[in-house]
Amino acid sequence: MFCILLAMCFGVEMDEESIEKVDQMMKSVLIALDPRLDDFLPLLSPFFYKQRKIVQKVRKQQIETLVPLIEKRRKSIQNPDSDKTAASFSYLDTLFNLQIEGRKSSPLDEEIVTLCSEFLNGGTDTSATAVEWAAARLIENQKIQSKLYDEIKTTVGEKKIDEKDIENMPYLNAVVKELLRKHPPTYFALTHAVTEPAKLGGYDIPTGTNVEFFLPGISEDPKIWADPEKFDPDRFYMGREDADITGVTGVKMMPFGAGRRICPGMGIGTVQVTLMLARMVQEFEWLGYPDNGKVDLSEKLEFTVVMKNSLRAKIKPRA
């Protein structure tokens, strides 16, 4: 997943050593971004001097790692014939031409580094974690896996499934939608601010208040969902139940947030997870845990909500 996003972001070919270097650097960034008490109480910042020094060191490493890739892409655009391996378009290209309000210049390299880092971190763990949860759920319920494989065979036959095929696979899309309901990437959506006085649950919420949305509290609410604890893709299959994951027509689940602050990677993230899941089921039969152990669906919060114990499974090629 990380390699796919690297290619999309920088549009330049990278060897394994370079990919590993960027990967390790991005992991350091995530660790350094853990919330600290002085984020909320700046008066305490003198007590977190060592932690701030670590953050500054990681930031320096981040810039030194990514700026050469930015420069390489910039040169390949200026001289297209110099690099035949370069992609025709990348996320970076949109940043080079970005016009910032109140400023005549384009973003500085340091600002581009931050935007690229958000692109990579925001799309890697979220999608990879979703695929792991999906595999666990298919192992747990073999009937769902069989039904999904039958739809794949009926839709594409022996050819390898591609992005265009998934539009014609309602059960596959129902599985992914149920996956996002039961396993949203994080517990909380991005913070929203109240723009006018409001009442919520009997409480007065004044203008300017920050509001946090606890996603499982919505997607597992028995007042909204029938049997919310059960992983049941059939609820979204053939129109039995429905939910707009964008939150435009109503909020029954919002794995990507909602409103103007909805995740900008929602479209590509959903396609990546759907296609990867379909190919995994098309190529392999997911039989269960080694030594006939049960699937452990315990979870813990890291950058995303991950499986507490990493998935271990028996798989068997379909061919």
The pLDDT of residue 141: 93
The pLDDT of residue 162: 93
The pLDDT of residue 80: 75
The pLDDT of residue 291: 61
The pLDDT of residue 85: 66
d(CA 240, CA 178): 13
The token pair at 107 is 């973003």
The pLDDT of residue 101: 76
The pLDDT of residue 20: 92
The pLDDT of residue 261: 78
User: Is 116 annotated for ligand binding?
Assistant: no
The pLDDT of residue 196: 93
264, 267, 270, 274: CA torsion to nearest 10 = -160
pLDDT 10s digit of each residue in the chain, 319 long? 888 889 889 988 888 999 999 999 988 888 877 767 777 788 888 888 888 888 899 999 999 999 999 999 988 888 877 666 677 888 999 898 887 777 777 889 999 999 999 888 888 888 999 999 999 999 999 999 999 999 999 999 999 999 999 999 999 999 999 999 999 998 988 888 899 999 988 999 999 888 888 999 999 999 999 999 999 999 999 777 788 888 788 889 999 988 877 888 888 889 999 999 999 999 999 987 666 668 889 999 887 899 999 898 889 999 7
The pLDDT of residue 84: 66
SS (H, E, C) the chain: CHHHHHHHHHCCCCCHHHHHHHHHHHHHHHHHCCCCHHHHCHHHHHHHHHHHHHHHHHHHHHHHHHHHHHHHHHHHHHCHHHCCCCCCCCHHHHHHCCCCCCCCCCCCHHHHHHHHHHHHHHHHHHHHHHHHHHHHHHHHCHHHHHHHHHHHHHHHCCCCCCCCHHHHCHHHHHHHHHHHHHCCCCCECCCEECCCCEEECCEEECCCCEECCEHHHHHCCCCCCCCCCCCCHHHHHHHCCCCCCCCCCCCCCCCCCCHHHCCCCHHHHHHHHHHHHHHHHHHEEEEECHHHCCCCCCEEECCCEEECCCCCCEEEECC
Domains and CATH numbers, the chain: 2-107 (no CATH), 118-317 (1.10.630.10)
